[in-house]
């Protein structure tokens, strides 16, 4: 058992620190026993497995404490956001098994209210319009060791600020000409409190408000206020927002608004991948992968296409837990969860990925038997199917050895094996071509050894999967390896993460499948016996099925790393 599997088996039933906070708040009546969270994606890319952690946390808390979770698009960045991303995000959250019911919101729904809040701050002398260039503003901000200095525009009159801000909104000034800043403290040890920007001029088209606005709120301004407007109780975010919390609180106090509490937790990091949306977008745009849902991507849509199940991802989120300490999770823990779930739910079928021909010389030519095989030994309710057996079969090339060692329980001259669901066979002979490659294996079968009614008394240690050549059909099978060959591709100072792309991350082979698979549809998942879990890809056509290997039966990364 790998280390990750051992950790995976020690289920933590105790509360995580956010649940402890919620239970204490419920005990003290802080929010009148309400629990209301939100998942606030920025629609500038597809969701990844890190987002899945956040989704499972926010909606999981709701399920546990009979609370509510809002889905809110943080769409304050007009240029980068697209409806395609909005749709994909909604689809992914639903697929993971969660429901925001009627609580779908957009930060852009609040643009009027946010603008009013900005006016309120100006009127209270807590915000001002700054005409400095972005470079001047950067210089005046100082750095962690040097206090900042006040802008020459900081003491503008309220009337002048109101006038200028209204004209910014009206589109009178160019982008970058002016910004609205909070008037807090240029000497604060927290850089985010040094008169942070609240509004900037942007003359971009917004996916929902069109060309109505020429000013857009900054994330820090819009986010906490949106939480407050929606009556959120616990605003859960990743650790990098800890330093933003004083500003989150300051705005709500100054505006005398209802105050949710922001709580930070460690983001999910997984080895052998990248998780920033910017880098994922780069992989797509520069065509290192086929699209956002390429099965090699750590996106939710990629994992879905690969064959991962929502239950496996939820299980993974539960196993990794919630803490404040940053760490890196082994990708094989996620794969372990996928295997565990598919073992229970995926039908077993036979497919030969690297075929060699096997002829049963004493089996009548032209004869066919329909043999019953059960679909899943873990679940009787999944029933059984019949698989045709005949004189000529394919087996895996690796299941035969010309001169096998003693412990090789598969086929070799003079050895017996059972063909799954069929008969015990004995290998009598084999044929090689001029290159020494085995082209045909000749065996005889034992008619009294039929599975389910074996009276032969013959022993066979190994069980091989097979397909009947006249009945089998071919399909493309995409075999994936990690997308990156380095455990931390984006952690190298000197090298770009793209340099660590694994050139062998996708290999397509032709496999021979049992005929029951002819009627499958995209998204169906199977265990190809002894080979792993596979999922039907949407690229499949009536003429040619395409399968993705979801995960091998065993953790193949251990020996590599
Ligand atoms: P990225 O850094 O990948 O671009 P982001 O944080 O900018 O992601 P958002 O759309 O703003 O993406 O994130 C929505 C929510 O998902 C936020 O609450 C954020 O904290 C959370 N989140 C993002 N990445 C992770 C992660 N790796 N682990 C846990 N939560 C995450
Ligand atoms: Mg973000």
| 38 in contact with ligand 1, CB cutoff 6 A | no
Q: Examine the pLDDT at 561 and tell me if it is beyond 80.
A: no
| 275 in contact with ligand 1, CB cutoff 6 A | yes
Of 379, 310, 305, 315, which is closest to residue 345 (Cα–Cα)? Answer: 379
Does 260 reside within a domain?
A: no
Q: Which ligand places an atom closest to the C-alpha of 37?
A: 1
- Whether residues 448 and 358 fall in one domain: yes
1-13 tens-digit pLDDT: 444 544 444 544 6
**SS3 state at 1:** coil
- Whether residues 449 and 481 fall in one domain: no
Q: Which ligand places an atom closest to the C-alpha of 71?
A: 1
pLDDT at 78: 87
Dihedral of alpha carbons 398, 404, 405, 410, sign: positive
Backbone angles phi, psi at 105, to 5 degrees: -130, 165
* Atom of ligand 1 at shortest range from CA of 280: 3
225-256 tens-digit pLDDT: 999 999 999 999 999 999 999 999 999 999 99
* Residue range of the domain that includes 359: 351-465
| Positions marked active-site | 42, 267, 277
Does 523 reside within a domain?
A: yes
Backbone angles phi, psi at 197, to 5 degrees: -65, 140
Domain termination site, one of 187, 219, 251? 219
Please give the distance, rounded to the nearest whole angstrom, from the Cα atom of residue 333 to the centre of ligand 1. 21
Does 374 reside within a domain?
A: yes
- Whether residues 363 and 461 fall in one domain: yes
329-377 tens-digit pLDDT: 999 999 999 999 999 999 999 999 999 999 999 999 999 999 999 999 9
pLDDT at 556: 65
Residue corresponding to tokens 């280390």:
3
Q: Looking at residues 252-268, what average pLDDT do you find?
A: 98
| 196 in contact with ligand 1, CB cutoff 6 A | no
Please give the distance, rounded to the nearest whole angstrom, from the Cα atom of residue 85 to the centre of ligand 2. 14
| 281 in contact with ligand 1, CB cutoff 6 A | no
297-320 tens-digit pLDDT: 999 999 999 999 999 999 999 999
Please give the distance, rounded to the nearest whole angstrom, from the Cα atom of residue 41 to the centre of ligand 2. 7
Q: Is the pTM higher than 0.75?
A: yes
Looking at the structure of the chain, the number of domains it has is 3
Please give the distance, rounded to the nearest whole angstrom, from the Cα atom of residue 94 to the centre of ligand 2. 21
| 268 in contact with ligand 1, CB cutoff 6 A | yes
Mutate to test the pocket of ligand 1, among 18, 50, 292 (most ligand atoms within 8 A of CB): 50
Q: Which CATH number do you get for residue 306? A: 2.40.240.10
Q: Which ligand places an atom closest to the C-alpha of 277?
A: 1
Q: Examine the pLDDT at 122 and tell me if it is beyond 80.
A: yes
Question: What's the DSSP call for residue 239?
Answer: G
- Whether residues 479 and 343 fall in one domain: yes
Q: Contact at 8 Å (CB) between 351 and 467?
A: yes
């Amino acid at each position: 058992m790998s280390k990750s599997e051992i950790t995976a088996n020690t289920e933590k039933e105790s509360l995580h620190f956010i649940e402890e906070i919620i239970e204490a708040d419920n005990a003290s009546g802080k929010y009148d026993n309400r629990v209301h969270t939100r998942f606030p994606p920025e629609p500038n890319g597809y969701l990844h497995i890190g987002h899945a952690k956040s989704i499972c946390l926010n909606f999981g808390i709701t399920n546990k404490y009979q609370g509510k979770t809002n889905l809110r698009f943080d769409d304050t960045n007009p240029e980068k956001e697209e409806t395609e991303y909005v749709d994909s995000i909604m689809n992914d959250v639903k697929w993971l098994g969660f429901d925001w019911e009627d609580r779908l919101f957009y930060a852009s729904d609040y643009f009027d209210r946010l603008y009013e809040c900005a006016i309120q701050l100006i009127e209270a002398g807590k915000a001002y319009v700054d005409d400095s260039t972005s470079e001047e503003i950067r210089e005046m901000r100082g750095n962690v060791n040097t206090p900042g200095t006040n802008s020459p525009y900081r003491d503008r009159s309220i009337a002048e600020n109101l006038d200028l801000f209204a004209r910014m909104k009206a589109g009178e000034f160019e982008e970058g000409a002016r910004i609205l800043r909070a008037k807090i403290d240029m000497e604060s040890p927290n850089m985010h409190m040094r008169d942070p920007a609240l509004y900037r001029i942007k003359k971009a088209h917004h996916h929902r408000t069109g060309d109505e606005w020429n000013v857009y709120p900054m994330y820090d301004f819009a986010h906490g206020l949106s939480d407050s407007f929606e009556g959120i109780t616990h605003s859960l975010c990743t650790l990098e927002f800890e330093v933003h919390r004083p500003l989150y609180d300051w705005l709500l106090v100054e505006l005398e608004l209802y105050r949710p509490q922001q709580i930070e937790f460690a983001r999910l990091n997984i080895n052998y991948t990248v998780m920033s949306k910017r880098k994922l977008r780069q992989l797509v745009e520069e065509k290192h992968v086929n699209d956002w849902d390429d099965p090699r991507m750590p996106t939710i849509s990629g994992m879905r296409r690969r064959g991962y199940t929502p239950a496996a991802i939820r299980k993974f989120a539960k196993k990794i837990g919630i803490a404040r300490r940053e760490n890196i999770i082994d990708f094989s823990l996620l794969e372990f969860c996928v295997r565990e779930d598919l073992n229970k739910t995926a039908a077993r079928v036979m497919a030969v990925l690297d075929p060699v021909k096997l002829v049963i010389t004493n089996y009548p030519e032209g004869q066919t038997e329909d043999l019953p095989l059960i679909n899943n030994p873990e679940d009787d309710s999944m029933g059984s199917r019949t698989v045709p057996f005949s004189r000529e079969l394919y087996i895996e090339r690796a299941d035969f050895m010309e001169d096998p060692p003693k412990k090789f329980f598969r086929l070799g001259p003079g050895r017996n094996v059972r063909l799954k669901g069929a008969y015990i066979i004995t290998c009598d002979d084999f044929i090689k071509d001029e290159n020494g490659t085995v082209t045909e294996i000749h065996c005889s079968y034992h008619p009294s050894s039929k599975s389910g009614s074996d009276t032969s008394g013959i022993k066979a240690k190994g069980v091989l999967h097979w397909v009947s050549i006249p009945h089998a059909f071919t399909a493309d099978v995409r075999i994936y390896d990690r997308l990156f060959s380095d455990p931390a591709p984006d952690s190298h100072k000197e090298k770009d993460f793209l340099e660590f792309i694994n050139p062998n991350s996708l290999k397509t082979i032709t496999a021979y499948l049992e005929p029951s698979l002819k009627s499958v549809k995209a998204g169906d998942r199977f265990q190809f016996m002894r080979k792993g879990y596979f999922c039907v890809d949407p690229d499949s056509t009536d003429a040619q099925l395409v399968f993705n290997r979801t995960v091998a039966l065993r953790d193949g990364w251990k020996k590599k790393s």
